[in-house]
Amino acid sequence: MMVSNKLRIAVIITTYNRPDALRSVLEGYLAQSDTNFEVWVADDGSTADTAELVKYFQIRAKFPIHHVWQEDIGFRAATIRNRALAKTLADYVIYTDGDCIPTSDFVLQHRKLAEPGWFLSGSRVLLSESFTAKVLGASVPLHTWSILKWVGARISGKINRLLPLIQLPDSPWLRKRTPQRWEGAKTCNLSAFRQDLLRVNGLDESYTGWGQEDSDLVVRLIRSGLGNKSARFSATVLHLWHKENDRSHLEENKRRLREVISATHIRARKGVDQYL
């Protein structure tokens, strides 16, 4: 079922003290083939230089860019995503990160694939540490690159894989082949109707530190009756290299996720409803 071109879309971009990466990401959104969307920079406590950067892009953009900020008291990506979700009135929400550059038709592909009863999970291409430094240092416009340039980048080891950048014709059978699969779906490239996200109470903020809160969301979306529709080979982000996040809470978060998988609830225990 094709959704309307008038579907109001919000792109929620999480960020934390990485304005160089966020600059490249926002440049990618300025160059989108579909400009009928709004951006929410969901800021997990960055310093003032990120706010100044957002103001710069607000002046340049042909679409609304909003900045929602919270105090820096540790990793709280779920919280700032929920705050942004509560503020937007868009029909449809695309989650991504401030170190993930969109390809030029990223928003368009999410729009084309959006379908009631489903959420979308897309893919990412990882950039090497040295290539990331070059991209950020020289402001390389990756969103303009042809597939031939990406082939060269793969051969030279600048990216970890090429296949996600090759677009395939839309195939309902292929995209809906694993509707119950939660593994691999990440909030660096995930979209859903806002009403579906509100029904499951958004992300669960009871997770501490980095890891598993996005899987928790996907498990509950599926349990609520939605299917996982693949946006691979259509909607791809270019993930800039960064140091590994603090994983000191990962085992506890994995334990929490296992409990959620074996439970029956669909609503986050501590979710978006506190901001509505």
Q: Identify the CA nearest to 214 among candidates 230, 192, 231, 233.
A: 192
Question: Edge to edge, what strands does the sheet with 227-230 contain?
Answer: 65-69, 37-43, 9-15, 92-97, 189-193, 118-121, 227-230
What is the spatial distance between Cα 120 and Cα 175, in angstroms, rounded to a whole number?
A: 9
What is the spatial distance between Cα 177 and Cα 131, in angstroms, rounded to a whole number?
A: 34
Domain assignment present for residue 168? The answer is: yes
Domain assignment present for residue 276? The answer is: no
- Alpha carbon dihedral 29, 97, 226, 108, in 10-degree steps, equals 10
Per-residue pLDDT of the chain (276 residues; tens, 9 = 90+): 555 678 999 999 999 999 999 999 999 999 999 999 999 999 999 999 999 999 999 999 999 999 999 999 988 999 999 999 999 999 999 999 999 999 999 999 999 999 999 999 999 999 999 999 999 999 999 989 999 999 999 999 999 999 999 988 777 778 999 998 988 788 999 999 999 999 999 999 987 766 678 899 999 999 999 999 999 999 999 999 987 765 566 677 777 778 778 787 899 999 999 999
- Taking residue 66's Cβ as centre, other Cβ atoms within 10 Å add up to 16
Domain of 59, CATH number, reads 3.90.550.10
Domain assignment present for residue 154? The answer is: yes
Domain assignment present for residue 265? The answer is: yes
Quote the number of domains for the chain. 1
Query: Could you tell me the residue range of the domain that residue 231 belongs to?
Result: 9-269
